[in-house]
Amino acid sequence: MSSIDLLNTTKSAHSPAPVQLRNVVRQFGQQRVIDGLDLDIAPGEFVALLGASGSGKTTLLRSLAGLDSIDSGQLVVPKARAAVFQEPRLMPWKRAWKNVVLGLHIPDARARAVQALTEVGLAHRLEAYPATLSGGEAQRVALARGLVREPKLLLLDEPFAALDALTRIRMHRLIIELWRKHTPAVLLVTHDVDEAILLADRVIVLANGKIADQLTIDLPRARDTGQEGFQAIRARLLGLLGVEVETVAVAESRAPNTSVRRFAHG
């Protein structure tokens, strides 16, 4: 038996966790992609999900987004939720502001779109068609489309993976700024260990549909890859993912002298 409950959540000191999974199972044929998973995400918590391909990351995100069902267990999510994917998924025949409010039937749609696009730095691109946007701009429109819905849960499925390195740094800074302002719970699916550490309060490693381990990231913000303690966390996460790394002492001694350091201000 499976159960999916939708919560109408309001922010308070005693708000329940907007995401609650209890013994959740999702399988395709005989293969259990999610295998008895238990997980809570607190209000306003930023969680990153790491794992090898096929570990169940995207299946879990799709279930939380309501795009896929579960076979058994209990899944509780807020009604107000939004997802941003690796591809912006914009309608090519609609201008940027109309993509932002796509599916919203509200009287002040344009004003809401203007506000959301201003927040992501695209007030000057309201009337632009997707074909005229850069990759970073298109992804910011997709992010504005998610935030205009005022979600209590924001789901991010590798939204920065296709961006160049400099644009990715800017997007990291933007997502932290917007997360602090709007305070949704966030679940970020990523293959990038550094990205997970830079952005998240907690990093979960998924393996064979189960939580293999999870780490609270207590590094002060703003973070960067040369920060004291960063390489120790990185080494542990890579080890959990089956990647051999050099000793932490050697890695940290090199980090401040590398030609490129990654940052996420917040």
Q: Is residue 70 part of a domain?
A: yes
Residue 103 has pLDDT above 50, yes or no: yes
Q: Is residue 178 part of a domain?
A: yes
Residue 258 has pLDDT above 50, yes or no: no
228 near 252, Cβ under 8 Å? yes
| CATH number, domain with residue 20 | 3.40.50.300
Chain CA centroid to CA 202, Å: 12
Q: Is residue 194 part of a domain?
A: yes
Q: Is residue 90 part of a domain?
A: no
Q: Is residue 131 part of a domain?
A: no
pLDDT tens digits, one per residue of 184-200: 999 999 999 999 999 99
Residue among 181, 180, 182 nearest 201 (CA) = 180
Tokens of 157: 């499925």
pLDDT tier for residue 265 given thresholds of 50, 70 and 90: low
Task: Find the length of the chain.
Answer: 266
* Number of domains into which the chain is organized: 1
Looking up tokens 């080494």 gives 235
Q: Is residue 239 part of a domain?
A: no
Q: CA-to-CA distance for 126 and 169, rounded, in angstroms?
A: 23
264 near 173, Cβ under 8 Å? yes
Per-residue pLDDT at 246: 65
pLDDT tier for residue 106 given thresholds of 50, 70 and 90: confident
Q: Is residue 198 part of a domain?
A: yes
Q: Phi-psi bin for 70: left (phi > 0), alpha (psi -120 to 50), beta? A: beta
| Arithmetic mean of pLDDT, 98-125 | 94
Q: Is residue 145 part of a domain?
A: no
Q: Do the bridges between strand 2-7 and strand 72-78 make them parallel or antiparallel, or are there none, so unpaired?
A: parallel
Residue 13 has pLDDT above 90, yes or no: no
Q: Which domain holds residue 67?
A: 2-80+151-218
pLDDT tier for residue 249 given thresholds of 50, 70 and 90: very low
Q: CA-to-CA distance for 62 and 28, rounded, in angstroms?
A: 14
Per-residue pLDDT at 259: 40
pLDDT tens digits, one per residue of 35-53: 999 999 999 999 999 998 8
